[in-house]
């Protein structure tokens, strides 16, 4: 993806404490109905991708993709992350539109 604006918006959402990262925590937020958008790294393992995608599909949570786990981690100021959930609908809507521009 050439549009990297989402990285700074995700960073802002993270500073506002509206981002949960890490596979297990993301799945928990999806299950609780708090996740409004999930960002999955394209280089996540098949097993992890399937687990996260199946949950998101079941609970109807939209999923977008970051190129790498490093890119996703960097966006939220952490080391590599394979998945992140945005728990604020405002941030989620804006981020989703940035991925599809």
Over residues 48-101, the pLDDT tens digits come to: 999 999 999 999 999 999 999 999 999 999 999 999 999 999 999 999 999 876
- Report domain extents, the chain: 5-99
Q: Enter the pTM of the model.
A: 0.94
Residues 34, 8: Cα–Cα separation, whole Å = 22
Q: What is the reported pLDDT for 1? A: 43
Q: What is the reported pLDDT for 16? A: 97
Structure-token match 């939220």, residue found: 76
Q: What is the reported pLDDT for 101? A: 62
Confidence of residue 2 (pLDDT cuts 50, 70, 90): very low
User: What CATH number is given for 5-99 in this structure?
Assistant: 3.30.1330.30
Residues 31, 42: Cα–Cα separation, whole Å = 22
């Amino acid at each position: 993806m050439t549009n990297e604006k989402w990285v700074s918006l995700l960073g802002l959402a993270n500073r506002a404490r509206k981002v949960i990262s890490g596979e297990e925590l993301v799945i928990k937020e999806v299950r609780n109905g708090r996740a409004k958008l999930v960002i999955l790294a394209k280089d996540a393992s098949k097993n992890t991708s399937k687990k996260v995608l199946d949950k998101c599909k079941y609970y109807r949570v939209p999923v977008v993709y970051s190129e790498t786990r490093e890119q996703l981690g960097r966006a939220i100021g952490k080391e590599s992350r394979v998945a992140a959930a945005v728990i604020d609908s405002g941030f989620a809507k804006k981020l989703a539109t940035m991925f599809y521009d």
